[in-house]
Structure 1
Amino acid sequence: MQILVVGMGLIGGSICKSIKASTEHTVFGCDVQQSVLEDAIKEGAIDGIGTMIDGTYDMIIICLHQRIAIQMVQEALPQLPPGTILVDTCGLKGRMVRDLTYRCRKSGVHYVGTHPMAGREKSGYYASIPDLFQNANLIVTPVDGTDETALETVKQLAKQMGFGNIVTATPMWHDNMIAYTSQLAHVVSSAYVKDFCMDDALSFSGGSFQDMTRVATMDESMWSALFLDNRDNLLYHLDLLIENLTDYRDALKQRDEERLQYLIAEGRQIQEENVRKRKEMNEK
């Protein structure tokens, strides 16, 4: 295929490098930073430079923030050839998927919503790596009107790129789960590092500390927009977390060791069940 990747950040750059490393497809890059595109060509991450309206591509993969992606698709759609497969990797799906599926279908373009569940502490093209998606989950969010052949083409490409598990979800359920599995973790990490003990933490820290603080280095512009765009789901899970934390705090205040043991055991059992399910999934 002739594939155009729009947005050469961490995800877009890694997609380019992964496709080049594992397939025979031709990859073109599109980005506002000319220097990034020039370096990507030098590194062999892309075969050339393109835009959504200057060529004919079998597949266009948009790796931009949701707000920018929607506007860009709406502007370019009248000029995209029928039959083009249009994919996005946005972190939220919600109404976006249904809206773009409807708009694209009217133009003969096949839209497929996806979300690769992979990342690193650093962002940008220069943090991208070809094996970012090895054994990662790819969420796909088909709806009524999604072209089955296009969806299967996207899945096959994902498997070639090394994704370990392809999960199908409705757009709304996707956003609810992302609020819990990703956004809530980023909020907790950001709040956790605001303790005065951070000044001496390196001398006293181990793996659990690293796990808790790893994603606090998130980009504030991107993540604040993501939080607000998924506000209702994130607030629900944040309120639930605060409620659960309050149980631990109250047990500590009351010196209630039996209650603490119960709360800890409850959490352990839930996580043990989660680990068991993950093991079964990996064995399939």
Structure 2
Amino acid sequence: MSNITVIGMGLMGGSLIKALKASGKNYNVWAIDTNKENIDCALKDNYILKGEYDYNNIIEDALKWSDIIMICTLPSIALDIINKYKSLIDNNKILSDFCGVKTDIFNNTKDKKYVGLHTMAGKEKGGYSNSSENLFKNSNAIITHNENANENDIKIIENLAKDIGCSKVIVSTAKKHDEMIAFTSQLMHIVACSIVNHKSFLESLGYEGNSLGDHTRVGTIDANMWSELFMFNSEYLSDSLGQYIECLNDFKDALDSKDREVLKKLMLNSNNVKNEWLNKKNVK
């Protein structure tokens, strides 16, 4: 049985406590959130054992009680919590987080037993009211850790990820995580927003096919959260965006020069790379 303190009950934290309950596994959850309504709802529905909306009144008792401390907030808030309450977290406890960027968290937890978790799942709308026990079902999950965490600590967080529904869990470094997330997640949100910001988007009703909806699914975005994630990962994201712009310019140059052969070459290369990607995915 594991005692978990979940700090932050928005979309991710709320979905976490619901998925832990639905798993039927032996997790005792103590939740902390500044929104009293979130805590009251979670207590009423028996998702949590205890809950508190005032950090200062409960944090010391909650951290002492915990086997796992899971911070489900924006990175800036997570860093504030870690730095403020670091002295209360001993190395018998696993310090973890759900943050979408890891390097700054990693750099501020070097003296703790840190095993971070990032589930590749989400919704266009955030908040506890939109949380779901099925949010993580069949999603990928990424674990990052420092040298203070042993194999058993990593296995505990891996098992937690699988218990909440994740189908594939990989272990990565914080640096590699942030580099790849810049491409697989953050760049995709920039692409979606850019298409929605295109002057033709509002005129497209009646002309659109499924591809427009597919490409703009995440075009409705939590600007406060994603702008912070972008800033925390600005170096890797800028580099990934620059590479993408180069790919777009290859198509633009071919169109401007009316070079059909170059267009076909770019498309055939895309076919080959995508097939290679799918083959590797299917093997794994």
| Structure 1 residue ranges (4+ consecutive) displaced by more than 3 angstroms after TM superposition | none
Who is 2:88 aligned against?
Answer: 79
Summarize the Cα distance change of 1:58–1:143 in structure 2 as closer, same or farther, 3 Å threshold. closer
Compared with structure 1, are the counterparts of its residues 52 and 116 closer, same or farther at alpha carbon in structure 2 (3 Å cutoff)? farther
Alignment TM-score, normalising by the size of structure 2: 0.92
More moved, 69-78 vs 30-39: 69-78
* Structure 2 residue ranges without an equivalent (≥5): 53-57
- 1:137 is matched by which residue type in structure 2? N
Aligned match of 2:51? 49
**Contact (CA 8 Å) 1:53, 1:80: kept in 2 or not?**
no
Q: What residue is the counterpart of 1:6 in the other structure?
A: 7
The answer to whether the 8 Å contact 1:52/1:60 transfers is: no
Residues 1:137 and 2:140 aligned together: yes
Q: Which amino acid aligns with 2:105?
A: M
Cross-structure match for 1:107: none
SS at match of 1:67: helix
Matched residue type, 2:86: L
Q: Post-superposition shift, 1:202?
A: 3.3
Q: Given the alignment of the two structures, is residue 36 of structure 1 paired with residue 38 of structure 2, yes or no?
A: yes
**Runs (5+) with no aligned partner, structure 1:** 105-109
Residues 47-104 of structure 1, C-alpha deviation per residue, up to 9 Å, x if partnerless? 320443223112111001111111101211222355122211111111421430x232
Letter in 2 for 1:74: N
Q: Answer with 172-181 or 130-139: which moved more.
A: 130-139
Identity %: 35
Partner of 2:177: 174
Q: How far 1:35 moved relative to its partner?
A: 0.7
For the structure 1 residues 246 and 82, does the alpha-carbon distance in structure 2 shift closer, same or farther, using more than 3 Å as the test? closer
Alignment coverage as a number of residue pairs: 275
Tell me whether 1:103 sits opposite 2:111 in the alignment. Answer: yes
- Distance in 1, matches of 2:5 and 2:28, equals 9
CA distance in 1, matches of 2:279, 2:124: 27
Look up the equivalent residue of 1:57 and give its one-letter code. Answer: S
Counterpart of 2:120? Answer: 117
Any conservation in 1 of the 2:115–2:146 contact (CA below 8 Å)?
no
Q: 1: CA distance between counterparts of 2:90 and 2:239?
A: 42
* Distance of 1:30 and 1:116 partners within structure 2: 20
Partner of 2:55: none
- Aligned equivalents of 2:257, 2:152: Cα separation in 1: 60
Q: Which whole-Å CA distance do the structure 1 matches of 2:170 and 2:122 have between them?
A: 17
- Aligned-pair CA distance for 1:7: 0.6
Secondary structure at the counterpart of residue 14 of structure 2: helix
2:27 corresponds to: 25
**RMSD over aligned Cα atoms:** 1.5
Residue of structure 2 in register with 1:185 after alignment: 188
Amino acid at match of 2:4: I
Deviates most, 261-270 or 272-281: 272-281
Deviations 1:83-138 (A, max 9, x none): 122211111111421430x232xxxxx32122111111111111111011112111
1:179-200 deviation digits (Å, cap 9, x = unpaired): 1111111111111111232223
Q: How big is the shift at 1:12? A: 0.5
Cα 1:247–1:158 change in 2 (3 A) is same
Q: 1:235 to 1:82 in 2, by over 3 A?
A: closer
Q: Deviations over 1:17-72 (max 9, x none)?
A: 00001023121211110011111222332232044322311211100111111110
Equivalent residues of 2:195, 2:201 under 8 A apart:
no
